[in-house]
Amino acid sequence: MSRNDELIALYDAYCQAGSMSPGTRALKRNYLQRFGATHDLLTCTSQEIVEWLSHNPTWKPATRRSARSALTTFFSWARKMGHRDDDPAADTMAVRVPPGAPKPCPESVLEHAISSADPRTRVAILLGAYAGLRRAEIAGLHADMIDLEAMTLRITGKGGRTRVVPLAEALVEPMTEAKARGGYLFPNGDKPVTPTTLGRMVKPYLGPGLSTHTLRHRFATRVYAGSRNLRATQELLGHASIATTERYTAVTDTERREAVAGL
């Protein structure tokens, strides 16, 4: 094992001890391994970090911010633990990410997807559109997370945050059947399918420019339109920040007209 690999393993153990989610740990390891493939984690400089972050022209701002976050948290840990005397990532510029516009799956597309999908994929589509689950949350859903007495799903998502999502009417029948079968809803042997596999299952039924995540945007938009409660929408989506929730809730043309008519 190389020196870089040893450091990454020590840092990963530190993150695990702090109950960081497996998905977040895997993402951080990935960026550190990619950076470490061409740089020494004990001797690299701030300039080398800046050059590495800037010499990935295909990265979107959110990807670059995620990569920088992985490096800043790692080098902060390395300094605190005595592996380095300095923190070369501390003074790197924060990555500005333009606010994204919500892109809810159109209702006509959703209706067609539900009617044309095979039974297994149909359940995945319903969980995105009527429960607002992330792709990884759908992929890892287990029958134990379904509470038919309370008619809810208990989901642990990003950052290890657990939320309770009431079952919409469209989900009652498929969740009742899933509970009776037991196990993972989307199994691959004795494990669940990967989020990537789940996304590939759903994608053909949504068409160009639409992904599983647009079903989550659809859920957020409909929940907020029906309740006008942004805080409730935030909790149902499992967002740490209400600012993130605001980016998920689209405003319709009708709502804009009604707002102006109210003048």
Active site residues: 134, 158, 213, 216, 239, 248
CA 107 to chain centre: 23
**CA–CA distances in Å: residue 1 to residues 7, 82, 162:** 10, 20, 36
3-state secondary structure 193-228: CCHHHHHHHHHHHHCCCCCHHHHHHHHHHHHHHHHC
Among candidates 15, 53, 67, 24, which has minimal Cα distance to 7? 15
Q: What angle do CA 25, 26, 32 make, to 5 degrees?
A: 90
Pairing outcome for strands 187-188 and 191-192: antiparallel
CA dist 199 and 210 (Å) reads: 11
Amino acid letter at 30?
Answer: N
